Amino acid sequence: MIPVSEERHQWTVEEVLALYEMPFMDLIWRAQEVHRKYFDPNAIQRSTLLSVKTGGCSEDCSYCSQSARYDTDTERERLMPLDEVLAAARVAKDKGASRFCMGAAWRGPKDNDLDRVLEMVREVKALGMQTCVTLGMLKSGQAEKLKEAGLDYYNHNLDTDREFYGQVIKTHTHDDRLDTLDQVRDAGINVCSGGIIGMGESRKNRAALIVQLANLPKAPESVPINHLVPIPGTPLAENGGLDPFEFVRTIAAARITMPTSWVRLSAGRQEMTDEIQALCFLAGANSMFYGDRLLTTGNPDVERDDRLFERLGLKAV
Ligand code: SAM
Ligand code: DTB
Ligand code: SF4
């Protein structure tokens, strides 16, 4: 039996698999019911991403263009100067993004690099935007410094479930990821954590990822659901062919199990039709990346997104 009350239920993989197995229309209906209880169904939060430190990463994440281990088109770059970051943040704000997310291709930040990121957080915050960073694994004390600088969200994805994790990443573990999430939570920073769908994982792996996110001591405030963007040169370059409805079902499962979280329709939108994106919003996605680029790959241009918002009567928050 699927529980009727969604609030702080400890989900099991069987229950989430049962959600996935519902007739599509029933699943969407259930997701809509939950969504409308906690959110304005026509409001979408928009974050703009900037890669402040690109490429040359020591980690071996099989999907990533930025790993130094794979021969991809992404060139290694140094940490961006503050003035360039601020210029990009101002443009994002003018275009209508409420949050600015800065990403770095690190296993984790060194203390002197962190000091420069703290400066970026302070200055972006001073522009009146919400701030988010994704810097990899944190060492003790680093989350507190980020909190002091005014950081609103830390993004650190579980990416896939514990069982499949070792097939995708070998240089760090699922437990390492959980440890950083604990540090972020303890420092009082909002948690942004989700995963990637379409890496060759099974439906059971997908359900288990959702369970692991939903059953964290506190569900993440923000849950990015990324569709794999296959990157030439990486081990997952040839992965593709996920049924788009399976992706929509994953959004619905995230919405139902994490009723008060912002569920973000993340990487992969450029390859999706407007109709599939609309189904994702119907299934409870209420956040997205806005701006022509993600970190190293493309995102729909703002004109296409603005037109989509207009066609669907969506408003940005
Ligand atoms: N290095 C840090 C880390 O791994 O946490 C931060 C940057 S990393 C690029 C942020 C996230 O981007 C990953 O956790 C993954 O979910 C997502 N990502 C990276 N490459 C992707 C791809 N090709 N397709 C979809 N999502 C991807
Ligand atoms: C997240 O979950 N997705 C974003 C953000 N958090 C950092 C990154 C997506 C990256 C897609 C591949 C690329 O552009 O390199
Ligand atoms: Fe490095 Fe993050 Fe890419 Fe993994 S996902 S290779 S940690 S940048």
pLDDT tens-place string over residues 164-213: 999 999 999 999 999 999 999 999 999 999 999 999 999 999 999 999 99
Report the alpha-carbon distance of residue 67 to residue 309 in Å, rounded.
Answer: 35
Q: What is the mean pLDDT of the chain?
A: 96
Report the alpha-carbon distance of residue 89 to residue 67 in Å, rounded.
Answer: 26
* Residue 101 appears among annotated catalytic residues: yes
Whether residue 8 is predicted with pLDDT greater than 80 in this model: the reply is no
Three-class SS of residue 93? helix
Residue of 30, 249, 264, 269 with catalytic role:
264
**Atom 2 of ligand 2 has which residue's CA nearest to it?**
224
Sign of torsion over alpha carbons 195, 198, 201, 207 = positive
Report the alpha-carbon distance of residue 94 to residue 98 in Å, rounded.
Answer: 10
pLDDT for residue 7: 55
Report the alpha-carbon distance of residue 268 to residue 219 in Å, rounded.
Answer: 24
Q: pTM for the complete prediction?
A: 0.96
Report the alpha-carbon distance of residue 201 to residue 197 in Å, rounded.
Answer: 8
Q: Where are the domains of the chain?
A: 13-316
Among the listed residues 196, 203, 180, the one whose alpha carbon sits nearest the alpha carbon of residue 16: 203
Query: Ligand 2 pocket, 54 CB below 6 A?
Result: no
Cβ neighbours of 317 (radius 10 Å) = 14
Q: What is the pLDDT of residues 255-305, one digit of tens each?
A: 999 999 999 999 999 999 999 999 999 999 999 999 999 999 999 999 999
pLDDT for residue 9: 84
Contacts of 157 (CB under 8 A, 6+ apart): 177, 193, 194, 195, 196, 224, 226
Helix or strand (DSSP H, E) at 122? helix 111-126
Residue of 30, 57, 206, 280 with catalytic role:
57
Whether residue 1 is predicted with pLDDT greater than 50 in this model: the reply is no
Note whether 231 and 277 are within 8 A (CB): no
How far does the centroid of ligand 2 lie from the alpha carbon of residue 39, in Å? Answer: 25
CA angle, 303 then 306 then 308, to 5°: 110
How far does the centroid of ligand 3 lie from the alpha carbon of residue 65, in Å? Answer: 8
The ligand that comes nearest to the alpha carbon of residue 299 is 2
Contacts of 38 (CB under 8 A, 6+ apart): 259, 260
Mean pLDDT, residues 43-64 taken together:
97
Query: What CATH number was assigned to the domain covering residues 13-316?
Result: 3.20.20.70
Three-class SS of residue 250? helix
* Residue 280 appears among annotated catalytic residues: no
Mean pLDDT, residues 228-235 taken together:
98
Q: What is the pLDDT of residues 147-164, one digit of tens each?
A: 999 999 999 999 999 999
Whether residue 2 is predicted with pLDDT greater than 60 in this model: the reply is no
* Residue 311 appears among annotated catalytic residues: no
How far does the centroid of ligand 3 lie from the alpha carbon of residue 261, in Å? Answer: 24
Whether residue 73 is predicted with pLDDT greater than 70 in this model: the reply is yes
* Residue 61 appears among annotated catalytic residues: yes
Mean pLDDT, residues 227-238 taken together:
98
